Structure 1
Amino acid sequence: MSLLDIHVFGSPILRQETELVTEFTPALRRLVDDMFDTMEAAKGVGLAAPQVGRNERLCVVDADDVRLVVINPEIVHKEGGLVRGEEGCLSIPEIYADVDRHTRITVRAQDIDGKWYEIEHAANLLGRCLQHEIDHLHGKLFTDRLSMLKKRSAMRDWDYEKAKYPKNLRVLPVGDLPPEKDASASDT
C-alpha cells in the first residue's frame, strides 16, 4: 500500500483523454488499492487515474455507502433535469463551486476483474461523484462546467492556492493514512 501524489490544476495529464483498460492484471489491482488509500487519505469520495498521473480509464468511488471500482465507464442513460450542487476536487484543493449535474444516471463499467456491470439510477452524492470522475477520464474538470464569471472567480482563488503545490503535485504525508493502514503502526 502506498499513497500516490495527486496532480493538481495545471498538470497536463488532467487535460488528456484516457485510454481503455484492456488488461486486468495484478498491477492494475495494486493501482486500484493505492488509489483508494490515496482518496481516503485526502478525504475525498472519488479519484480518477489522471489525478494520480495515470492514463488508464479508471476511477474509484466511495459515496453514499457505495464503494466502486469503475473501469471503462460510460454514462448510458440520464434521467431528470439538472440539479445544482457544490463540488470540490482533490486536484483543485480548497476551491468549491456549484455545478449543474444530471439528477440520475446509469453507468455501464467494468470491475477489477473485467466483468461488466451497471449502476442504475445513481443519484445524490454517488451520481454527482460518478459524473465528476467520468469527466476526469475525458480531460474535463468541474471548473469547465462553470459560467465564465464563476470560473474566473474560482481561478482567482486558485491563484492563491497553487503556490502550495510545486511541480503541480499534491504530496500527501504518510501520517494522513488511517491507523489500520499506516505501515508504521504496530499491532504489538
Structure 2
Amino acid sequence: MDRELAELLDGIGPRLRRIRQDRGLTLADLATATGLSISTLSRLEAGIRRPTLDLLIPLARTHRMALDHLIGAPPTGDPRAHLTPHRTEPRTGNPSVVVPLTSYPGRLQVFKQILGPGQTPPELVTHPGHAWFHVLSGTVRLLLGPGESLLEPGDTADFDTSVPHWFGPAGDRPAEILHLYGPHGDRPDGSARRGGR
C-alpha cells in the first residue's frame, strides 16, 4: 500500500467523527439513521474498524454526501456540483421541481425551486419552522395569514411557517425561487423585506 493511500485510510475515521459532530449528531443518532451499531460506528471513527463500502454507503446516504467527499478523497479535477432535481406533485400546493443546494440534515436547507401553476383555489398550510425565499424569475403570489402579496424578481419573503401560508405562481407561468427553510425555526441573517436589492 502506498503512503498516500495509507494516509487517506488513516484519516477516514477522524473525518467521519468531525462530520458527525459538525451535524450535531450523537453515535446513537447516527446508528438509528444508518442501521449500523453504535460500537461499529465508534470503532470506525477510532480507526479500529477498517472502512468498507457496506459501512461507508449508509453513512454517505445519511449525511447526503458523495462518497468521495465523505472520505476526503483527492479531487478528480471535476469541479462541478452534481445536483439532483426532484419533481413534486403534492396533494395540496403546486407541482414544482426542487434542486437541493445543501445537504445538512436537521439544519438550514437551501433549494432552488421552480414553482409550477396548478392549484386552484390555494389551500393554506401550517408547519413548524421558518421559511425564506428570493424570487429569481416570474411573479410569486404569497398568501400569509390574512394578507396577500405579489413578489417580482428581486423580492424576498421571510416568514414563520406556523402562520397559515401558500405560495405559487401568480398566473399560468412558472416562477423560480431560491428557498431557505429552517426546520427548527432557524432563519437566515437579515430582516424581512420586499424589493430585496
Q: Which has the higher helix share?
A: 1
Normalised by the length of structure 1, the TM-score is: 0.24
Normalised by the length of structure 2, the TM-score is: 0.23
Choose between structure 1 and 2 for higher RCO, CA contacts under 8 A separated by at least 6 residues: 1
